[in-house]
């Protein structure tokens, strides 16, 4: 079989009853085409039954060492006008990137005779040298000596400064008493003596600083002499790593339907990050398209699904389909898909079109509104229509930022609007001090065993896939949620959420994450499965009126 046919897979069952897609998949927001669903099922059966390699996806193996993976299928028409599909996975599986049935990587970093492994070997050798040198016991001794000198210098200088402060107090007291008790000549003589004491103390402080600076400098020099080779090796490692990375980026060359090739450096130079992120080009989608273009196959539709346990930080659910990531894949795919007729980008559509905002309460200083689901709080990058714009148009005399707090576009419910800058400042202060009481109601896609609890998982944005959020104990901001079950029905659980903090997507991540409730909110297209809507509603709001101080309470029942 010719090389280009090795990875083309014909469907096992007849596809005569299926309609072919008219347009290619918009990869950043899509519903899988039926033929992609069929291809994915066939690929999943292969993953379940193959015996040629072993990888712990976490489906049946040890969850602690599990590594789930993203897989992709690309529906294609080959040169013989046959309809089939290509398969790919992101990164490596079982330590390999060349498994049978899956298209090869765009560039094989694992090639035994390649420059990358040779470069990695050189870097690893430097790492071993550094580790060996760092074991020198004298380094620890010199580090302790330097630390001791610094601490002693700080202590002695601090003690001298304290004596100077006390000396100033004593001299001031002496001057006051001398002015009363001594004659003019004696008073002047005493003033001169006290002035000399003050000057002497300052000279002593200067000399003390010089003395300790010399000692600390000497201790630092001793340490530097011992670690100079380590520093030199680290700089060498840094330069080698940067050079190797740039050389690697240049090897990742991506085709498009027009036959134009660009490497990673060419592609990312036009992006805000300027340089490619680690792992760029190793995802399933670019691999699939590269192979199709290289061997003259026509891409028809694409879908990517997760197989295995979720990562510890991001939320990925076994068998769920996911859009291509924004950080690594978007710039690459924009080049690769140039010239291909695609489905319309749904993110360009105005989700608020035809919807109205209900006013729950209104006075001269503020509004309480009920925001519909799929309605932006503030203007987005592609869509300007939002709560902010509607209020601005409806209340042209209003001043200040207007929006006191936000709800996710997909979340419905109560929002506060300030009609002046002063009122906005007052209401925001209540949110910052956490005196505002909020309650959300949500319908979860599954049954919870417990009845109540607190979720404490710090969050930060996924830099490679905005606006998704990650659980991150190193860089994440604290995020806490109190939850309480209302009812269990039809394999779903209705809950109250009381957010203690207010992070982006907090309730959605805390619901879906394995360390949270491990049960996504029904209709969550980012962290669960898409449905008619996101079943999350800001039901209750309690705060003090920004002008009168009166306690205000509002409640709007959810539509679900």
Residue 195 vs residues 192, 198, 400, 409: alpha-carbon distances, Å: 5, 5, 58, 71
Return all residues near 20 (Cβ < 8 A) that are at least 6 apart: 35, 83, 300
CA geometry: angle at 515 spanning 513 and 517, to 5°?
65
Token output for 296: 């003259």
Stated as kind and residue range, the H or E segment containing 161 is: helix 137-181
Do the Cβ atoms of 478 and 497 come closer than 8 Å?
no
CA angle 214, 220, 223 (to 5 degrees): 145
Cis peptide before 467 (omega within 30 of 0): yes
CA geometry: angle 345, 346, 350, nearest 5 deg? 125
The b-or-e profile of 331-360 (16+ CB within 10 A means b, else e) is bbbebbbeeeeebeeeeeebbbeeeebeee
| 129 neighbors 232 (Cβ within 8 angstroms) | no
- The token pair at 537 is 């509603």
Has 98 been annotated as catalytic?
Answer: no
DSSP string, 266-315: HHHTTSTT-SPPTTTT-SHHHHHHHHHHHTTPEEEEEEEEEESSPPSSS-
- Among the listed residues 207, 239, 408, 525, the single catalytic one is 408
Kindly list the catalytic residues.
408
């Amino acid at each position: 079989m010719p090389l280009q046919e090795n990875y083309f897979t014909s469907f096992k069952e007849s596809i005569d009853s299926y309609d072919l897609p008219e347009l290619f998949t918009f990869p950043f927001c899509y519903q899988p085409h039926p033929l992609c669903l069929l291809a994915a099922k066939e690929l999943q059966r292969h993953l379940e039954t193959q015996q040629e390699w072993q990888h712990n996806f976490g489906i049946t193996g040890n969850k602690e060492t599990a590594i789930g993976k993203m897989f992709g299928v690309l529906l294609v028409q080959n040169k013989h006008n046959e309809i089939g599909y290509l398969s790919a996975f992101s990164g490596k599986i079982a330590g390999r990137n060349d498994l049978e049935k899956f298209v090869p990587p765009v560039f094989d970093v694992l090639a035994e005779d390649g420059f990358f492994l040779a470069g990695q070997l050189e870097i690893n050798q430097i790492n071993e040298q550094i580790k060996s040198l760092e074991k020198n016991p004298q380094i620890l001794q010199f580090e302790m000596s330097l630390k001791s000198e610094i601490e002693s210098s700080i202590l002695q200088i601090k003690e001298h400064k304290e004596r100077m402060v006390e000396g100033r107090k004593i001299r001031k007291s002496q001057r006051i008493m001398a002015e009363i008790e001594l004659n003019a000549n004696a008073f002047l003589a005493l003033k001169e003596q006290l002035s000399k004491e003050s000057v002497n103390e300052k000279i002593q402080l200067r000399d003390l600083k010089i003395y300790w600076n010399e000692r600390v400098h000497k201790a630092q020099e001793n340490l530097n002499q011992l670690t100079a080779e380590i520093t030199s090796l680290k700089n060498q490692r840094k330069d080698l790593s940067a050079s190797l990375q740039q050389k690697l980026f240049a090897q990742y060359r991506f085709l498009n339907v027009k036959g134009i090739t660009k490497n990673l450096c060419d592609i990312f130079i036009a992006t805000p990050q300027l340089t490619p992120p680690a792992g760029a080009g190793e995802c399933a989608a670019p691999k699939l398209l590269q192979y199709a273009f290289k061997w003259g196959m026509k891409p028809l539709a694409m879908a990517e699904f997760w197989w295995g346990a979720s990562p510890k930080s991001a939320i990925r659910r076994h068998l769920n389909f996911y859009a291509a990531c924004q950080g690594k894949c978007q710039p690459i795919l924009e080049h690769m898909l140039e010239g291909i007729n695609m489905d319309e980008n749904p993110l360009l559509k105005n989700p608020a079109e035809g919807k109205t905002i209900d006013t729950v309460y209104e006075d001269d200083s503020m509004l309480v509104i009920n925001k519909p689901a799929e309605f932006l709080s503030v203007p987005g990058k592609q869509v300007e229509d939002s709560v902010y714009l509607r209020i601005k148009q409806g209340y042209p005399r209003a001043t200040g930022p207007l929006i006191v707090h936000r709800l996710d576009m997909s979340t419905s419910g109560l929002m506060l609007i300030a009609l002046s800058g002063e009122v906005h400042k007052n209401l925001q202060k209540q949110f910052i001090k956490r005196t505002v009481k909020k309650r959300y109601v949500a319908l979860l896609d599954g049954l919870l065993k417990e009845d109540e609890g607190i979720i404490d998982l710090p969050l930060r944005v996924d830099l490679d896939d905005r606006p998704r959020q990650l659980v991150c104990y190193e860089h994440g901001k604290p995020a806490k949620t109190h939850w309480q079950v209302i009812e269990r029905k039809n394999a779903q659980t209705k809950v109250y959420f009381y957010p203690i903090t207010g992070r982006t997507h907090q309730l959605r991540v805390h619901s879906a994450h394995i360390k949270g409730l491990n049960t996504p909110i029904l209709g969550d297209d980012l962290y669960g499965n898409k449905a008619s809507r996101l079943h999350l509603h800001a039901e209750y709001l309690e705060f003090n009126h920004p002008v009168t101080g009166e306690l205000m309470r509002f409640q709007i029942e959810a539509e679900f």
